[in-house]
Chain A
Amino acid sequence: MDKIPKMKTSIGICGVFLVCLLSAAAGVPPGWAQDTDVEIESVYNPPVLVQAEMCESIERFQPVNPAVVFSISLGRVYCFTSFDPVFEETVMFHRWFRKDLLISNARLVLNPPKWASFSSMQLRPVDKGPWRVEIVDSRDNLIKTLRFSISD
């Protein structure tokens, strides 16, 4: 099983995108784009979160071993999120908290029509304890909170 190589920085941010060109090209009627443009100016259509997991790694654009407790010996832990649909290019944030202290705020770019992305955290011995990742949209709306613990 191949793993995504570990990043050198403490915060590794990767964008993994799955673009379904067929559905995008065929599914959108000619007039839709114009209507959407009008609505974009007045209505915010947030991307829809369909999957959010804390996991040990990412393989083939899927989370591996999603869990709520991770051993510090793993060295890195991942937060995987998948959105469908994504109506427009937007950003999403993964805010990592150790206990109640903000450790990292990862900015992820989402592209239509659907998108999956993840962020990760390099673990140090002092990082043992309860963690949470808040998934927040570009308008600072909290979409989901993932809670987990780093154990021995």
Chain B
Amino acid sequence: MMAQFFGIGWQNVLDIALNTYILFRLYVLFRGTNVLRVLLAMGALLVFRQVAFAMGLIITSWVMQGVIAVAALVIIVVFRNEISLVLKTRDLKSFFWGIPRQQLKTPVGIIVESVYELARKKIGALIVLPLSKGMESVVQEGIPWHGKLSKEMLISIFWPDNPVHDGAVVIQGNQITDVGVILPLSKRTDLPSRFGTRHRAAVGLAEQTDALIIVVSEERGTITLVRNRQIYDINDSRVLEKLLIQHAGGDTSTGDIKKRTRDLAIAATVCLVCVTGLWISFSRGVETLATQDVPIEFVKSDQNMEVFSSSASSVRLLVSGSRPLIRALGPERINVKLNLANTTAGETSLSVGRNAVSLPPGISVKSIEPSMIHVFLDVPLKKEIPVQAFWAGRLSPDLMMTQVAITPKKIIVVGPSQVLEDINTLFTEPISLDGIAESGKITAGIAFTPPTIRPEDPKKSEVQLEYTVRKRNTTDS
């Protein structure tokens, strides 16, 4: 109903809804990862290409098209791990519907205790808690561990004599998955001077992923938490615990749920806007022309009056609009109405203006052909008119046609009163005399001219003629 109101078909609504959902799911599955950023960059390239195309920058749009195609391949190759993580680690329900929450099973208490123990003992530590984004493309793989997380285990890993104590530990859920992982260093220059390599590595990873990184300073025994581009100096275990719970998605406070719901709603809205914009750019950007032959509808104010003739019964409209709208444009959705309110009996010229054409929204009229219609209006009358034979050709010189009987002799015709006034005889179509050698019968059609007149009974448009011919006497001249 709404779709019809706005002049777009249900297919278009479904098209937009489906692609909005796909985009939203991509956002949900890849949020916080580099894949999403690259996808956004590709979207920007696509927009740029459309703009270039619209401006007539052929080569630019062609190059952009190539870049987008290559970028799509690059995404698949470079982010294969993230993509495979999304595809492998979730079941179908979570893939198509669920909102992923990582780290729910993370034993936050163990981590907090371990971190404080490490700090107390001034044992340097670097603990990574990834979220949704894969880190494979930004870190140098360490040593797979896959050990159950425990306070003792963590402390022993970072124990100074341990061969892997310099690298980072990756914790996923309740498992230590990797140890001795080398993180990328940040190149930021605004970091505090007290920050050593561990801190710089933590910031570097946070810049590129959505992971949470805990750093324990070996020199001062301080605890620093890095997430996104924010750096927290932790002085209270409760603060650390709260931040870890938040990161693990376990904060189920009303405010947090509301915030998450709002974020998702905003994301969904943005997806809808983007897809709608894309649809509009595709549909409206590509202007399509089409011609439609539309019958003219005469709107009478005087019901007794009748249009007896019109120079055209339909007009040819050149309409323009988006391809989907043009495709969905059926003849029933176009009307051409000519108002006869101010006309009188007789011949009248009516201009077929754009206001006479009603079209669905989004479609405009480029031209109307013909732009002027000549109509003949009058009050219809009936009249009984005799029929006369119209003989043509050449009768044999030795013959004479002496009599013709026509059946029926008269025909009731309907037509405009002004026209019928002047018509006193109906004539048959020309009947050839050539070849007539003797008396006979013939059926002939009646020529209803002008075309504004017609027989009352459409079946009575013919007459039968019985003619008599005789030989011309030799004494006849």
Contact = CB atoms under 8 A, between A and B. Distances in A.
Q: Which of A57, A97, A147 has the most CB of B within 10 A?
A: A147
A67 B397 CA distance: 13
B197 interface: no
A130 B431 CA distance: 11
Interface string A42-77: 000000000000001100000011111101000000
A71 B422 contact: no
Given A3-B477, A100-B423, A69 B401 contact: yes
Contact of A129 (B386, B390, B433): B390
Interface size class of B (residues with CB under 8 A): 20 to 34
A51 to B, nearest CB: 14
B89 interface: no
A151 interface: yes
B391 interface: yes
B404 A71 contact: no
B442 to A, nearest CB: 13
Contacts of A100: 422-425
Contacts of A151: 391-395, 433
A1 interface: yes
A130 B390 contact: yes
A72 B433 CA distance: 14
A69 B391 contact: yes
Contact of B404 (A56, A57, A68, A128): A68
B274 interface: no
Interface string A118-152: 00000000001110100000000000010101011
A146 to B, nearest CB: 11
Interface of A: 1, 3, 56-57, 64-69, 71, 97, 99-100, 128-130, 132, 145, 147, 149, 151-152
Q: Which 5 A-B pairs have the closest CB atoms?
A: A149-B391, A152-B394, A69-B401, A130-B390, A147-B388
12 contacts: A64-B477, A65-B400, A65-B476, A68-B401, A68-B404, A71-B395, A100-B422, A128-B392, A130-B389, A130-B427, A149-B389, A151-B391
